[in-house]
Amino acid sequence: MSPRRVRAESDAVGRQDRPLRITVDGEPVDGVEGQTLAGVLLAADRLAWRRGRSGAPRGVFCGIGVCFDCLVTVGEDRDVRACRRRARDGDEVTTQSRAPGGLVDRNEPTPPPTEK
Is 11 among the residues that bind other proteins (CB under 8 A)? Answer: yes
DSSP 67: S
41 exposure class (CB count in 10 Å sphere: 0-12, 13-18, 19+)? buried
Exposed/middle/buried for residue 99 (C-beta within 10 Å: 0-12, 13-18, 19+): middle
DSSP 107: G
Q: Which of 108, 111, 113 is nearest to 95 (CA)?
A: 108
* Smallest distance, other proteins to C-beta of residue 102, A: 14
Select the residue interacting with other proteins from 2, 26, 28, 101 (CB under 8 A): 2
Residues 69-98 that bind other proteins (CB under 8 A): 69, 71, 76-77, 79-81, 83-86
Among 22, 29, 43, 93, binds other proteins (CB under 8 A): 43
Task: Select from 21, 27, 47, 103 the one that contacts other proteins (CB under 8 A).
Answer: 47
In terms of Cα–Cα distance, which of 53, 54, 22, 26 is closest to 38?
A: 22
Residues at the contact surface with other proteins, assessed by CB under 8 A:
1-6, 11-18, 32-36, 38-39, 42-43, 47-48, 52-54, 56-69, 71, 76-77, 79-81, 83-86, 109, 112-115
